[in-house]
Structure formats: C-alpha cells, structure tokens
Structure 1
Amino acid sequence: MSEIVTMATLSLLVVSFLVGIVVGLTGMGGGALMTPALIFLGVSPTAAVANDLVAASVNKSVGAGVHWRSGSPNLKLAGWLMLGSVPTAFAGAFIIRAFGGETEQDSFVKTAIGVALLFTAATYTVRMYLNLRIVTDGGTLSQEDPPVRPLPTFFVGAVGGLLVGITSVGSGSLIMVALLLLYPTLSAVRLVGTDLVQAVPLVLSAAISHVLVSGVDWAVLIPLIVGGTPGTFLGSKLAHWVSQSVVRRGIVIVLTLTGLGMLGVPPEYVGIIGAGLLILGPLAWGVARQTRGLPAFDSLPTPLSGSTSTPAPPAGPNGSPDRPAAERARDRADT
C-alpha cells in the first residue's frame, strides 16, 4: 500500500484538487496552473504537458456534455475553431520532438510555457477589463448569435491549437479572450459552451499526439484526474460565495510570476515584481474602475448579501430572471 500511496502521489492529489477548485471558481483552463505545478513538483516539462493534456481531455468532455445537453454552444462557431485548432494541436508533440534530445525538448517546452503564461496573464487582464466595460456600458446582449467570421475564427483556432499542443496552455483562457474580442455580443452561456465544445477535440488531438510521441505516466495521470474532478466540482459550488474579482486578479499575479520563473528570471527579481504587482495592481484596477464611473475600491453588493441597493434583474416571460440581465448583474458583482 505504501508503494501506491507515496508522498509524490499525495502531493499530486492535493495540487490537482486545489487547481481544480480554482478552475471551478473562475472557469479558466487548468493547463495554465496545472502544468507549471507539475514541473515544480519535479515532473519533466514534456511529461507534464502530456499528462495534463490527457487529464484535461477527460475533464473537458464532462463539461462539454453538460453544455451540449443545454443547447448552449454555437456549433457553427465551434466548427470553424476546430478546423484550425485540431491539426495544429496534433502537430505540437512532433514539433517538440524535432528539437532534439530530452534535455533540449524540456528546455524548449519550459521556455514556451513561460511565454504562454505571460501571454495568458496579459489576455486574462484584457478579459477582466472587457467584462468591466460591457457591464458598465449597460448594453443588452442580443438573443441572437452574431454572424460567424470564418477566417479570423479559423486563425484563432490554429494559433490556440498550436499553443495548446506545445504547452497545454490556452484552450480555456487565450481562446476565450479571442472569442470575446471577435464576438462581444455573444452571451456568456453561449461563449462558455462554445469554448468547451471546441476544446474537447482540440485537447484530444493534442493528447493523442503526445501519447504517440512520449506516452503517459500513470502515476501522474491518475492523481490528476482523481484530485482534479472533485476540486472542480467544489470550486463550482463555491463560485457564488467568493469574490471573482479578487480571485481573478490573484490568478494574473500567479501566472505572471510563474511565467517569469519558467523563463529563468532570478528569484529575487521575481519577488520584487510580485511585490510591485501586489501593491500597484489594485491601484491600477481602481483607476480602471474609476474610468468606467465606478468607485475605485468599493465592492458592489451581490444578490447573496441581502442588500436592496442593487435592483433585481427583470423577470422573463416565464417569471425567471431575464438571462442577459441576470448575466449582467452577476458580472457586475464580479467587477
């Protein structure tokens, strides 16, 4: 029994459970957090990417199934994303292998992950500001899907697929931000559903290529699935009780510092940058809120607070809250 339940296994279970909670809280992709965590636990970069992709293909299939049954994904939009992402994701493992021996491959993947994490942190910041802008503009989201833009959507899928195939980062963060920019009027539930549905073949394609090239480590893969699934479920349950704004700003700082560490920035400089982000980050966000006519640091009341200062969203024809208004109210509390 001691050979099965080792400290390494317990560490993987705990880390995957905690990452799953963050994924459930924020809806962001786990690759940006799980792959660096595996590397810090001593797993080689190439093995970390391969095992995380296989685990993600299982977890994302469950989430996509839920959204498919609810009818929320835009299948035409998802189809154009898949056309671009699936082939480039499959090429990821073969691109890594082309860099030579194991040492060269690990060095390349670690650098690529560092760049991807910094890019993810930047795009995640853009996503928060876009949400803030949409909410404060007070515009209503159309009940009809916007027209699909095939070539830009294909290009987003191709770039996102390549990044996921090499680093396992991007399927739930970079592509989501790109969709927000391309289709700002697409409702939140359709956006998430579309991203999840297109992410399944994308991650499966990347996972299959990595299994063919380097295989998987069951001692790593099983704890990722066993720990990550309940963590994601718990995070989803806690999402309404936790300030999304604080969690998301914290994730941006973590991604930035982790990316710098992956790129070999000395720890003392990473610490200085981290301290600067902790101090200046809230100030910068306060300025952004003020430019949108909101108080710099005051949290707006949420429906759970029992405050009557925030009006309830208008009801739909069946007596339930109107979805666009309800989404705006939820997002308003998150900003």
Structure 2
Amino acid sequence: MFRTFILLAGLTALFVGIGYMLGGSGGATIAFLIAAGMNLFAWWGSDGVVLRMHNAQPVTPAEAPQLYRMVEGLAARAGLPMPALYVIHEDQPNAFATGRSPERAAVAVNTGLLDLMNEQEVAGVIAHELAHIKHRDTLIMAVTATLAGAIGFLTQFGMMAHGRGDQRGGPGLIGGLLLMILGPLAAALVQMAISRAREYEADAEGARICGDPAWLASSLAKLEQGKIGRVNQTAEANPASAHMFIINPLSGLRLDRLFSTHPPTEERIARLMAMAGRPMAPPLPAPRRGASPWAAPGKRNPWA
C-alpha cells in the first residue's frame, strides 16, 4: 500500500509538472486543483463512469440465475458482500471489477467470456475479480485510470497550444512534442508498476477463493487465446482503463505490448500451477454457443 501511495503521488506530481510546463506556477496550481478534484471524483463515482464507458448492462438473478448464484457463493467464501453484476456485449472475452469499496463494488464480464468458458473457468475469473475487491485494488485502479486519462488529455492540449507557447511562457514546439511523447509514457509506466504486482496478488487470492488454482490458470489460457483476432473497440478508444481488466484488452496496435499494464499471461499461469503443485491441464471443452448454462432454465443465451 505504501508503494502504491508513492506511485499515485508520482502520477499526481507528473500531472502538476505538465501544468507547470504549460502555464508556469499558475498552471501548476490549476493542475494540482484539477488533480485533487479528479481524485475525489474517482473515489466517489468512477465505478459508474467505467461501467457506462464499456456499455455494461446490469444482470438480475432472474436473467442469469446460475451465474448470479456462483458470484454470490464466491463472494461469501471471500467474506465479501454480493457485488453488483454486469454483462458487457463484447466478443473479446474479458472481465473487470470496479468500485470504491467492497460495499460499492461491481463485477462485469463480457459475453465472449460466457460463451467461451465452462463453469469452473468462469468461477476462476470471478474469484480473481473478487480478490481485487477484497484487496481494495478497484479504488486504486480507478484513480490511476482517471489521472492517466487526464494526463493524456493535458499533453494533447499542450501540443495544440505550442504555437503560442513561445509568447506565453509555454512549452514551445519542442516542449510540446516532448510533452506529447513523454507525458503519456510516464503515466503508462506508473500504471504498469501499480497494476502488474496487483495482478499476481489477485491471482493468488483468487485461486484460494475458488478453491483450485487450475481453474483460474485454464481461464487465463482461454482468455489469451480468445482475444486473438477480436478487437475491443471501446477499450482501444479508452486505453487508460485497460489495466482494470483481467488480461490486457488492447490489441497491441500501438506500444501496448511494450508497456502492458499486465504481467505475461504465461508467467501468471506458471505461478498458479506452482500453487496447485501439478503441470497445466488442458482446458475443458467450452459450452456450445447459443446454449448458455448461465441463462434461465429453458432459455437460450440472453447475451448472444
């Protein structure tokens, strides 16, 4: 937690420093006030913003009774209240958790994940997300996403303003170019430092919650394979939220692979199987498309 506090402080300082480069001491003061306001906003309402950003739809027990019961049971095993449950209509399999506290938490899964995985693998994914809620990572990740997105916007503004920067003490052309390149790069490095360690911790705790590390290991293998050829357009348009997902939702079209906020999936699987004390078992067969086990009895997959 102390390390995370230092990293978040560094992200805030970066935001203030960019404000200073754009507008001197006055710009730094304004940037500091904006950063403080954004941290407060991220604490209070970022969960709703992220869910709306990814077009997440709430799920009721009547719509998906088996899925709802699974989440409820895993939350009880983790000592957590039942989080709000959402489904995102997206072919790329993935999931994330958000919320400022366990009492205000939400878990969102993509339709691609529900179509691809069996019950044990879905349980592994849900357990991982509940581990993030239990460790209160969701608040930290929301604040990080908010500040990283703000830094990207601020550096773009600095580049647009470079033409009049020489007359007003701004960054000028060279400074504007450096801001455009180095600002988001530094923010990505801080995001990466925060997120990678927390993914390993959530994997370990998630394995304990679901009861078998192999379940989560198998789901991670399917998630990595399932994202091939499937571009998550919403995540691509909002890359600052990528670190919230269980695996990186970005396609690597830019520098996403070089500065990924997630550790290598192969390493995560290896650590989980070391916990299990046996080699990785082959993934179990996926359920047939259109015949989801998560829908109410007698109904086709409502998420297809």
For the criterion TM > 0.5, the same-fold answer is: no
TM-score by length of 1: 0.26
Higher strand share: 2
The answer to which structure, 1 or 2, has the higher relative contact order (CA under 8 A, 6+ apart) is: 1
Higher helix share: 1
TM-score by length of 2: 0.28
